[in-house]
Amino acid sequence: MIASLTREDRGAAILITTLGVLVGLLMTAGGWGDLLAVHGVIVMLFCGGLFLLVALNLNAPEPGDERLAAYYDDPTRVGVLLALVWAVVGMAMGVWVAALLAWPDLRFDAAWSSFGRLRPVHTSGVIFGFGGNALIATSFHIMQRTSRARMPGQVAPWFVLLGFNLFCVVAASGYLMGITQSKEYAEPEWYADIWLVVVWVMYFGLYVRTLARRNEPHIYVANWYYLAFILVMAVLHIVNNMAVPVSFGGFKSYSAFGGVQDAMTQWWYGHNAVAFFLTSGFLGMLYYFLPKRAERPIYSYRLSILSFWGITFFYIWVGSHHLLYTALPQWVQTLGVTFSVMLLVPSWASAGNALMTLNGAWHKVRDDATLRFMMVAAIFYGLSTFEGSFMSIPPVNSLSHYTDWTIGHVHSGAMGWVALISFGSIYALTPLLWRRETMYSWQAVEWHFWLALSGTVIYVFAMWNSGLTQGLMWRTYVAGGTLRYSFLESLVAMHGYYIARAFGGLLFLIGAIIALWNVVMTIRRVPAHVPALDYPTGSEAFEPAVPVMPAE
């Protein structure tokens, strides 16, 4: 990989990693006695490791200019692998914390392994670690392919990918140490936030520069979804993480906002993170990989553009539906409810568009597990957006708020939509990316699909049941006007559901492990083959999994 970097690239890499080590040193020295120093050490190790990687290979032969006639796929490959690794790590943490709820002794009496510290390792691990790397990797692939142009540089993509992973590592390690802002999906502290802004600006610049040098005049719609994801996340991230550090030598900071203002900001961010990170970005993935795999164009390209603009305009105001029945002013709550309901229209337009694309190709869905991942993802997208709109209506929310139903909703979206589309895209991408004839084992893909689907279904059903149980128990009154059930009683009633939930998550985790294994084996064992055509390739015995249909 270093061999594909030019001398200037390697020089730049040395410079950047050296700067990184120095910053780490500064953090360590300046933060001595504070947990900031630990992070300083981590930064030094991370950057130092990369420094060594480049330095030891500094004199490897330089690549020729013929590389400029091909796409630059090294960062994409590493990104795919990192996404899978984070998937396993993040989901393993998820199973652990789910198990903790049923069996608290799994904490082993340590501080770092308490529920409060492990949970964000799970959420950040799957959202940013798995999802973020999947987005970055697929975006690198899509922006080059749809522009028919190689990306403009070789250092920038590595900076984005590895810098982002540094952010994830700092975040996860920080949680274990107890470093958190306590803002959902925005837990990392001020220094990590600043670093993410730097990485993100580079990401946006890289994307725009690639589009600017496109040889295909039309910018495919998937790129717009990715660009919205990058730009809006940057803005959201900056506003929500406005904080004042106690001192520059310590990790601790205080939010610039307080009370209900802070709550509104957090959920304005939080829900838009769902909208633009977990929806817009992955819709970009869907709009590229699903038609590619199905070998049919998007059913209505015009509709995909319309729903892009619809989502962009409507999503921004739904955040307050997380704060119904709180101290937030009533009219702000109503505003959130109204837009949450209206949001259903562009969301279902996208889901419908994806499914109609498959109309006439259902036999491919039956035979090809990779395509089936994408189809089921689209279905879950429709389901969870409906569920979300439904749950944001005040009467429904009065039952569901603070219950496990919310968790169930999150996971039907995260497992059913986000994870499945990511896995589908990775399976579609892997043989092409590594120039392999086929995936190592198509049966393993099938296994993964059924494990993932059953894991999701078990999880979501468990949470629907537990959530409704909680909600109903908490609002049951006796004749005298007091509560019928104590909180403890409702907790005890959860036990069975929590076991089921952990089991569902376990199935999902096993699927992810299989995926990682399958991809690694594909890289190592499957014979190299430069495909003449960018078709989805074979099943067992190197025969096509789906018959190759002539273009219609």
Partner 1 sequence: MDRLAVGELALDHPIEARNIERVVRMSSASAEAMRTEIRVNDQGIGCIRLALTNLRCGGCVATIERVLSARADVAAARVNLTLSQLVITLPRLDTDLAPIIEALAALGFPAVPVDSGDVSGMETGAAQEGSVSKNLIRALAVAGFGAANIMALSVGSWAGADGITRSSFQWLSAAIAVPVVLYSGRPFFASAWSALHAGRVNMDVPIALAVGLTLLLSLFETLNGGAHVFFDAAVTLLFFLLGGRTLDHLMRDRARSAITGLARLAARGASVRQTDGNLVWTTIDKVAPGAVVAIGPGERIPVDCCIIDGMTDLDRALVTGESVSVPARPGDNLEAGTLNLTGTIAARVLRAASESFLAQIITMQGAAEATRGRYIRIADRAARLYAPFVHIAALLTFIGWLVATEGDWRRAIFVAISVLIITCPCALGLAVPVAHVVAAGKLLRMGILMKDGSALERLAEIDSTVFDKTGTLTTGTPTISAGPIGAADCAGAMALATASGHPAAQAIARYLDCQPGTVADVDELPGNGIAGRVDGRPARLGRASWVGEIATVPAGADGPLFGFAGEPTVAFALSETLRPGALGAIEALRAGGLRVAMLSGDAAPRVDRIATALGIGEAMNEASPAAKIAWLERRRGEGRRVLMVGDGLNDAPALAAAHVSMAPASASDAGRTAADFIILRDGLEAVPEAWQTARATARIVRQNFIAAFGYNIVTIPLAVAGLVTPLMAALAMSASSVVVIANALRLNGGARPKAAGA
Partner 2 sequence: MSILAILIPVALGLGVIGLVVFFWTVQDGQYDDLAGDAERILFDDDTPLMPPCDTVLGAATKDRSPL
| Site membership for partner 2, residue 208 (CB under 8 A) | no
| Site membership for partner 2, residue 257 (CB under 8 A) | yes
CB-nearer residue toward partner 1: 12 or 283:
283
The CB-of-313 to partner 1 minimum distance in angstroms stands at 4
Q: What does the alpha-carbon distance between residue 314 and residue 258 come to, in Å, rounded to a whole number?
A: 26
| Site membership for partner 1, residue 221 (CB under 8 A) | no
**Of 41-49, 263-271, 421-429, 511-519, which part binds partner 2 (CB under 8 A)?**
263-271
User: What are the beta bridge partners of residue 483?
Assistant: 477
**Phi then psi for 173, rounded to 5 degrees?**
-65, -35
Whether residue 434 contacts residue 137, with contact meaning beta carbons closer than 8 Å, is answered with: no
CB-nearer residue toward partner 2: 6 or 173:
6
The CB-of-217 to partner 2 minimum distance in angstroms stands at 6
- Contacts to partner 2 from residues 436-465, by CB under 8 A: none
The CB-of-295 to partner 1 minimum distance in angstroms stands at 10
| Site membership for partner 2, residue 265 (CB under 8 A) | yes
CB-nearer residue toward partner 1: 58 or 356:
356
| Site membership for partner 1, residue 496 (CB under 8 A) | no
Write down how long the chain is: 552
- Contacts to partner 2 from residues 107-146, by CB under 8 A: 144-146
Residue 360 binds: one of partner 2, partner 1, none (C-beta under 5 to 8 A by kind) = partner 1
| Site membership for partner 2, residue 302 (CB under 8 A) | yes
The CB-of-476 to partner 2 minimum distance in angstroms stands at 34
b/e sequence 312-344, b meaning 16+ C-beta within 10 Å: bebbbbbbbbbbbeeebeeebbebbbebbbebb
CB-nearer residue toward partner 2: 13 or 93:
13
Q: What does the alpha-carbon distance between residue 44 and residue 20 come to, in Å, rounded to a whole number?
A: 7
Using CB under 8 A, pick the residue from 72, 288, 317, 381 that binds partner 1.
Answer: 317
| Site membership for partner 2, residue 219 (CB under 8 A) | yes
131, two tokens: 């999802």
| Site membership for partner 1, residue 348 (CB under 8 A) | no
Whether residue 464 contacts residue 416, with contact meaning beta carbons closer than 8 Å, is answered with: no
Q: What does the alpha-carbon distance between residue 345 and residue 159 come to, in Å, rounded to a whole number?
A: 38
Q: Write the DSSP assignment of 409-465 as a string of letters.
A: HHHIIIIIIIIHHHHHHHHHHHHHHTTBSS-S-HHHHHHHHHHHHHHHHHHHHHHHH
Whether residue 467 contacts residue 405, with contact meaning beta carbons closer than 8 Å, is answered with: yes
| Site membership for partner 2, residue 486 (CB under 8 A) | no
Distances (CA, A) of 80 to 309, 417, 530: 29, 18, 19
Residue 62 binds: one of partner 2, partner 1, none (C-beta under 5 to 8 A by kind) = none
Whether residue 71 contacts residue 149, with contact meaning beta carbons closer than 8 Å, is answered with: no
User: What are the beta bridge partners of residue 15?
Assistant: none
| Site membership for partner 2, residue 150 (CB under 8 A) | yes
| Site membership for partner 1, residue 313 (CB under 8 A) | yes
| Site membership for partner 1, residue 547 (CB under 8 A) | no
User: Which has the closest alpha carbon to 336: 308, 313, 315?
Assistant: 315
The CB-of-330 to partner 1 minimum distance in angstroms stands at 5
Q: What does the alpha-carbon distance between residue 129 and residue 90 come to, in Å, rounded to a whole number?
A: 7
Which residues, at least 6 apart from 453, have a Cβ–Cβ distance to it below 8 Å?
Answer: 376
**Positions in the binding site for partner 2 (CB under 8 A):** 68-71, 144-146, 148-150, 152-153, 212-213, 215-220, 231-232, 235, 239, 257, 260-262, 264-265, 268, 288, 291-292, 295-298, 301-302, 305, 309, 312-313, 316-317, 329, 332, 432, 531, 533-535, 551
Residues at the interface with partner 1 (CB under 8 A): 217, 297-302, 309, 313-314, 317, 329-332, 334-335, 338-339, 356, 359-360, 532-533, 550-552
